[in-house]
Structure 1
Amino acid sequence: MSALLGASVHAAEPIRIGEINSYKSQPAFLEPYRKAMLLAQEQINAAGGVDGRPLELVIRDDNATPGDAVRAAEELVSREHVALLAGGFLSNIGLAVADFARQRKVPFLASEPLTDKITWANGNRYTFRLRPSTWMQVSMLVPEAVKLHRKRWAIVYPNYEYGQSAVETFKTLMKAAQPDVEFVAEQATPLGKLDAGPVVQALAASKPDAIFNVLFATDLTKFVREGETRGLFKGREVVSLLSGEPEYLEPLGAEAPEGWIVTGYPWYDIKTPEHGAFLQAYRKKYGEAPRQGSVVGYVTVYAAAEAIRRAGGTDPEKIVDAFRNMPLKTPWGPIVFRPQDNQSTLGAFVGRTALRGEGAKRGGVMVDYHYADGAKYQPSDAEVQKLRPAR
């Protein structure tokens, strides 16, 4: 029976999902992301596809530029006839594809870009976002930052949409929660081109009590190493967005910082049945542990498939309607795509960094963590209405 079902699924016309991402420029996150997408596609098709039709991913690299991303989106829609678009890593690219989706009235599931604008100021009917936004993740960190009772804060971030958005939110929420807070230094650095020495020196010269860091990938590695060498972190608390994600923490090895408050993904300690099944399947297929990107890629494909299934086909308006208020099971628990702003309620793990292991196996992990449910870290409906134009 299962063999006959598999044959009929693969004989049927495939449903295509067009996926656009910065694979060449951000491999640490996007290689695991791609692997997990392919795992999800394989699982869905083995179970009968979407209403008997196989799911097919059509993947394009955007070369980390908005123009190339839009050209890829046009090709996927016009020539490949995809049912929906998905992907996006860098926030400026996510915004460009979201605007394309609005103009062409094509569903777009922004899997990774974190800028608040994607669902608020630039939000539109056709664009949905999976990962928690910068506002959501920063609002998960701010209560921990307030508990530190530090007055003088220095800030470092990549100088593009994601970094700017995160810093603006951090300042706003910190001032509301701790009115006497002071921001004594701010270093905005070119993405992927951090000159760590002068940046660390400038931060240290401001004599902060604590540091808010938004750097990631190779910029984070340079910052940590130079900061340790120059004693920037000694006696200071650090609150750091994304730094607990294995993609960025593990490359530091034994140089990983200890005691930073971070958002991340402690895959090694999550004991739920849903996560256990995902972990086992991913390890079986690839012989390695998943990363943050793995979870995002995996859920992206399942979310797209579920929306198409609920829509009963590939009509774009019906897919959009299906996404709104759509529940979905994930390795981290159930989520919903909010109809107020098309944002999912996927959360993040918040904890501290620590070192574990001996010798060559010594490296950074997250400890004392908790899962912050994204549904609890959203503005009120009235605030969303002010932030999101009617489109």
Structure 2
Amino acid sequence: MTIDRRRFLAAASGGAVALAAPSLVRAQGAGAIRIGEINSYTAQPAFLKPYRQGWELAQAQVNAAGGVLGRKIETIFRDDAGKPEDAVRHAGDLINAEKVDLLSGGYLSNVGLAIADFAAQNKRLYAASEPLSDALVWSKGNRYTFRLRPSTYMQAAMLVEEAARLKARKWALVAPNYEYGQSAVKWFKELLKKARPDVEFVAEQYPALGRIDAGATVQALEAAKPDAIFNVTFSADLTNFVRQGNTRGLFEGRDVVSMLTGEPEYLDALGTETPEGWIVTGYPHADLATPEHVRFRDAYQARYNDYPRLGSVVGFDTMNSIAAALAKAGTTDNEALVAAMEGLTFPSAFGSAEYRAIDHQATLGAFVGRTALKDGKGVLVDWRYADGAKYLPSDDVVKTLRPAG
């Protein structure tokens, strides 16, 4: 039994997914569609508590509208604690014992890559929500893995557009020492050098994820006397880096370009310590007034009595993209779902997006702006929406980055 795709998208744009009439629900009479969701809930709670809330909001809307294919959606959540080996163990249990229809989730890039490898070996659909590693869809991409969020390449390209306009010539870089950080630095350097051949990179610091020695890192960056800094740290590492940088005057008279820092989950933690004027990717939750976002924000606030974070959007959009794939496929058959995901257009809180058939990367964009302080809190100002489709390489380039098959 199939459901017309245009009906799905029209209903979803209204903030709920009305997919099946009651007669279809009775006719099918099947059990719930089960999704296995794996994430680093205890390791990264600032992002992943809102993520789960956004996911559960979307699921509740889908189910309230009749479900998908006449069936309700049920999610089984597992916590990988930021450990790839735990994520793979959970994936096996979800597939073999819980009999889920597909896998989703992932926050850290190394965890996402581990789940993607499991998905390829076991030929099961994996809808990766958050891991930003370019390898996920390029060098280690596979038929069964799709990714929602803008990748390190995409966000680096968005930020380079702004960085290239700065007068700064000497750059220092700081990033967590694992795949995400290394990839972000690689693309920022490559793209900035292409846009501005006169720039040079005078220092690079790679602190261990979650264990930054912020004082030593700041001291090393200051010693290089850069004109500008590219920062990729996030979460508690970002807070410690900013605190030490403020104390030691690292940011005075220097431009800073920073990935993810404009997201509310990280600005909230910085509070009054938020540095002003940084060029960042982020999310202006209070000011974004598009119809899709207002519907999402109002529903989220009504359900949780709180404002959404970027994680809330990622959870909400991942769930809705899976519902769209199920509706398009007309079945929970794994191979049919994979085929449905390729080229799938789906609704999001930021507007319509698509999973590209060529590399399984979604075209969801990000906001680029500057940090500021308002009423003692960090906010994103002077922002613009950068459409993800405009920051992805051509099909010909992707063919050189992604293995065939």
TM-score range, shorter chain: over 0.9
| Alignment check: 8 A CA contact 1:244 1:262 kept | yes
Q: What residue number does 1:102 align with?
A: 120
Aligned-pair identity in percent equals 60
Letter matched to residue 351 of structure 1? G
| Alignment check: 8 A CA contact 1:15 1:56 kept | yes
Alignment of 1:49-64 (within 5 A): 49-64=67-82
| Alignment check: 8 A CA contact 2:259 2:281 kept | yes
2: CA distance between counterparts of 1:3 and 1:105? 32
Give the superposition deviation at 1:309: 1.6
Give the superposition deviation at 1:11: 6.5
Q: What residue number does 1:171 align with?
A: 189
1:384 and 2:402 aligned: no
1: CA distance between counterparts of 2:336 and 2:187? 34
Q: What residue number does 2:223 align with?
A: 205
| Alignment check: 8 A CA contact 2:25 2:71 kept | no
1: CA distance between counterparts of 2:400 and 2:54? 36
User: Structure 1 pair 381/94, CA: closer, same or farther in 2 (3 Å)?
Assistant: same
Question: 256, 270, 289: which is aligned to 1:252?
Answer: 270
Q: Deviations over 1:157-187 (max 9, x none)?
A: 1000100000011111111111121111111
User: Structure 1 pair 165/269, CA: closer, same or farther in 2 (3 Å)?
Assistant: same
**What are the ranges of 5 or more consecutive residues in structure 2 without an aligned counterpart?**
1-19
Give the superposition deviation at 1:312: 1.1
Q: What residue number does 2:47 align with?
A: 29
Question: 316, 322, 329: which is aligned to 1:298?
Answer: 316
Letter matched to residue 269 of structure 1? D
Q: Secondary structure at the match of 1:185?
A: strand
1: CA distance between counterparts of 2:246 and 2:26? 59
1: CA distance between counterparts of 2:172 and 2:184? 14
Give the superposition deviation at 1:54: 0.4
Give the superposition deviation at 1:384: 0.2
Q: What residue number does 1:124 align with?
A: 142
Q: What residue number does 1:189 align with?
A: 207
Q: What residue number does 2:385 align with?
A: 371
2: CA distance between counterparts of 1:146 and 1:117? 25
Q: Secondary structure at the match of 1:155?
A: strand
Question: 169, 172, 176: which is aligned to 1:151?
Answer: 169
Give the superposition deviation at 1:149: 2.1
1: CA distance between counterparts of 2:146 and 2:261? 25
| Alignment check: 8 A CA contact 1:123 1:389 kept | yes
TM-score normalised to the size of structure 2?
Answer: 0.93
1: CA distance between counterparts of 2:159 and 2:28? 46
Letter matched to residue 121 of structure 1? S
Q: Secondary structure at the match of 1:330?
A: coil
**What are the ranges of 5 or more consecutive residues in structure 1 without an aligned counterpart?**
none
Question: 45, 56, 64: which is aligned to 1:46?
Answer: 64
Runs of 4+ in 1 over 2 A off after TM superposition: 2-12
| Alignment check: 8 A CA contact 2:87 2:115 kept | yes
TM-score normalised to the size of structure 1?
Answer: 0.96
CA RMSD of aligned residues (A): 1.6
Letter matched to residue 244 of structure 1? G
Q: Secondary structure at the match of 2:347?
A: strand
| Alignment check: 8 A CA contact 2:29 2:70 kept | no
| Alignment check: 8 A CA contact 1:5 1:48 kept | no
Letter matched to residue 63 of structure 2? N
User: Structure 1 pair 289/5, CA: closer, same or farther in 2 (3 Å)?
Assistant: farther
Q: What residue number does 1:275 align with?
A: 293
| Alignment check: 8 A CA contact 1:263 1:348 kept | yes
Letter matched to residue 316 of structure 2? Y
Q: What residue number does 2:259 align with?
A: 241
2: CA distance between counterparts of 1:84 and 1:188? 35
Q: What residue number does 1:87 align with?
A: 105
1:332 and 2:360 aligned: no
Letter matched to residue 72 of structure 1? H
1: CA distance between counterparts of 2:287 and 2:400? 40
